[in-house]
Structure 1
Amino acid sequence: MKKSIKLTMVMLLALTLVLSACGKKNEANNGGAAEGNGTKSDVKVGMVTDVGGVNDKSFNQSAWEGLQAVKDSDGISVDYLQSTKPDDYITNLNKFVKGGYNLTWGIGMDLGEAIKTVADQNKDANLAIIDAVVDAPNVKSITFAENEGSFLVGVVAGLTTKTNKIGFIGGAEIPVIENFAVGFKAGIEAVNPNAQVMISYTGAFDKPDLGKTQAATYYNDGADILFPAAGATGTGVFNEGTARKQKGEDVWVIGVDKDQSLEFGDEITLTSMIKRVDEAVKRVSKEVVDGTFKGGVETLSLKDNGVGIAETSSKNVSAEILAKVEEFKAKIISGEIVVPSALAE
């Protein structure tokens, strides 16, 4: 009997040790990602999207991927709130600020006024915004030279088109989107002055159906290359282009903000204009981790590697055209070519 009790106690002890080890393993796998050495940061960073949403396969998604990268590398806690209407902006920003987050991002020009309001009311809070300049000492404003990156994909489009008809589809007629259009048109005209450039705005960043309808109109009018800068609305452009490609039509779409060939495939994506929102979000968020965050304005250009074209462009763009792109890129960086801009100085 005593022997049986002793065996039972030994088995219970062994089981306890196993369960304890499993508990520690599970605990290590929960919560924010940790650094390689197993430590976890106390820093919390929140992100508020515009109405395009975090899964827009473009602008907001790129920002969220940048924030997740800092979570993985530095062990910070990250979260986002998706705005469904402009009235949500201040409410969502305040949820993070009042929740004690070390940095709160506003993604998109439309959040500019809301960021300013929240920053003025919470002078000890750190905020940052993409695509708008907010004059407040506790706000880091990041803008991009979209016109320069768009000029390069304009060069690709101008040298690739067979119909000499090319379309640009913007989400809304606002300066930052007009900057894409202005640069794109300038790039096309630099290499193909005979090409017709059609420009339109759907008025929304979250309506794929509108993008699909406008794409159909342009393709029906003879365009063979379309460049949407429209967030989730651009998904509809890709859907229309893909459907036509599958029917044998020789049409293309140019991606925006990130390498959209990874999402929509090489069959339809001619190239992509990269706007490194993810890198900007990573760098500024790491400043908070390092304790070096300061308010101010940064504009990321070709010279800063803040914009450019996708590395996968060689799959569909000839080496000769890519060489021409590099030639124009060098001239823009040197200042020999000044790309027109839609943004006020």
Structure 2
Amino acid sequence: MPRRGARRVTRIQEDAVKKTARIAAVAAIAALALTACGDREDNGDEGSDNNSPTATTTEESSPTDAGTQYTDFKACMVSDSGGFDDKSFNQTSHDGLEAAAEKYGVQTSEAESSDPSQFADNIQRLVDEGCNQITTVGFLLGDATEAAAKKAKNVDFAIVDFAYEKPPANLKGLTFNTAEPSFLAGYVAAAKSESGVVGTFGGLNIPTVTIFMTGFVQGVEYYNEENGAAVEVLGWDVEAGDGSFTNDFEDKTAGQSLAQTMIDNGADVIFPVAGPAGLGGLQAAQDADAWGIWVDTDGCVSAAEYCDSLLTSVVKGMDVAVEQAIVDSASGQFNNEVYTGTLENGGVSLAPYGPEADIDEELSGKVEELKQMIIDGEITVG
């Protein structure tokens, strides 16, 4: 299924890209530190040289005084399965821990989990090490984190991708409305599909995975309605709440097999939401000269070997949210109010388009329009 010209472009992948994104998001989250609703003034977006729908330019700022150091403070982290080098979920969260250490001098410790049975023991080990703050990474750690927070009341806890109706005073949820940028990605996928079929699959059928898939499907449906098209989505039925899953986040072969089945059934865009297993989906797309869309972080930075096959990536600012939670704890400003990253506050975004995506001004402008409509509440996603 041909989709690209012969000319191949290599994107410069410098740390500046990552730093700029983090700076912009830090500024947004800092404004939210003491509120649950996440409202702020919109500073506006300025497109990058490849018409990124969310690339922003802002003056450098940080969660607190850049000169402040917390060398006596110990921040720690427990991973979900997949480890801290998964090029996605755990790794992006871990970047926030590393940023806090680099900028503010906090001490750090960490525990990698390879199985859910290790969650409680890993958290307890870090409590016993004397950690002042512990971040757990992932929806599946919800119960273990709450139990630990209720027991170790002198430790501040933050958890990525989980929120509690009545959290303990020392437990903060860090959540992200990834349906919003996934909607934009779905619209782009439908617009770029030549076969009229696109596919998505997840690691597990859990809300923090399916929220991406639902937004993606809704974006495709919106494209169809606006353009009188009939682009089909394989892999997720929103109403039935069922679809295609690898049933873990580590098996790259399973991800590749699922994606290949979708490609064999006509899909020319693949949107995996499965951590390292999703890398198999990108491999299948690359091998078939199809498009891929990555999640959690900019795939052209974290999974650069697939960059030329990427349309874009759906980004969660987990690194910035984690860093902010650590600094809030170290500075005595910690609270248990849920943080939710949105397109409006910069906590979620669409990454710059891939170097071969060839997104024209009309489509780029439409994505910007849709983004603003979501922010303004004219389009409800999720």
TM-score using structure 2 length: 0.76
| Residue correspondence of structure 1 range 285-324 to structure 2 within 5 A | 285-313=326-354, 316=357, 317-324=359-366
The partner residue of 1:280 within 321, 325, 328 is: 321
Paired position in structure 2 for 1:54: 84
- Greater relative contact order, per chain length (Cα 8 Å cut-off, separation 6+): 2
Paired position in structure 1 for 2:307: 266
| Residue correspondence of structure 1 range 120-135 to structure 2 within 5 A | 120-134=150-164, 135=167
Query: What amino acid sits opposite 2:134 in the alignment?
Result: T
Per-residue CA deviation, residues 262-307 of structure 1 (Å, 9 max, x unaligned), is 2234311110011111111111111122221112211111111111
% identical equivalent positions: 34
Q: Secondary structure at the match of 2:378?
A: coil
| Residue correspondence of structure 1 range 96-175 to structure 2 within 5 A | 96-134=126-164, 135-175=167-207
The partner residue of 1:181 within 202, 208, 213 is: 213
| Residue correspondence of structure 1 range 31-110 to structure 2 within 5 A | 41-110=71-140
Q: Considering only aligned residues, what root-mean-square deviation do their CA atoms show, in Å?
A: 1.8
Paired position in structure 1 for 2:373: 331
Distance 1:238 1:80 in 2: 29
Distance 2:206 2:297 in 1: 20
Structure (1/2) with the larger helix percentage: 1
Determine which structure has more spread, i.e. the larger CA radius of gyration: 1
Structure 1 runs, 4 residues or longer, greater than 3 Å off: 35-40, 312-315
Distance 1:318 1:171 in 2: 32
Give 1:315 deviation, angstroms: 5.2
Distance 1:104 1:115 in 2: 9
Paired position in structure 2 for 1:197: 233
The partner residue of 2:259 within 207, 211, 215 is: 215
Distance 1:168 1:204 in 2: 15
Q: Secondary structure at the match of 1:266?
A: helix
Distance 1:146 1:39 in 2: 33
Give 1:84 deviation, angstroms: 1.2
Query: What amino acid sits opposite 1:261 in the alignment?
Result: C
* Count of paired positions: 301
Distance 2:109 2:219 in 1: 38
Query: What amino acid sits opposite 1:326 in the alignment?
Result: E
Question: Which stretches in structure 2 are left out of the alignment for 5+ residues?
Answer: 1-64, 236-243
Distance 1:318 1:203 in 2: 37
Q: Secondary structure at the match of 1:296?
A: coil
Question: Which stretches in structure 1 are left out of the alignment for 5+ residues?
Answer: 1-34, 246-250
Query: What amino acid sits opposite 1:257 in the alignment?
Result: D
TM-score using structure 1 length: 0.84
8 Å contact kept, 1:49–1:107 = yes
8 Å contact kept, 1:152–1:308 = no
Q: Secondary structure at the match of 2:135?
A: strand
Give 1:155 deviation, angstroms: 1.1
8 Å contact kept, 1:149–1:275 = no
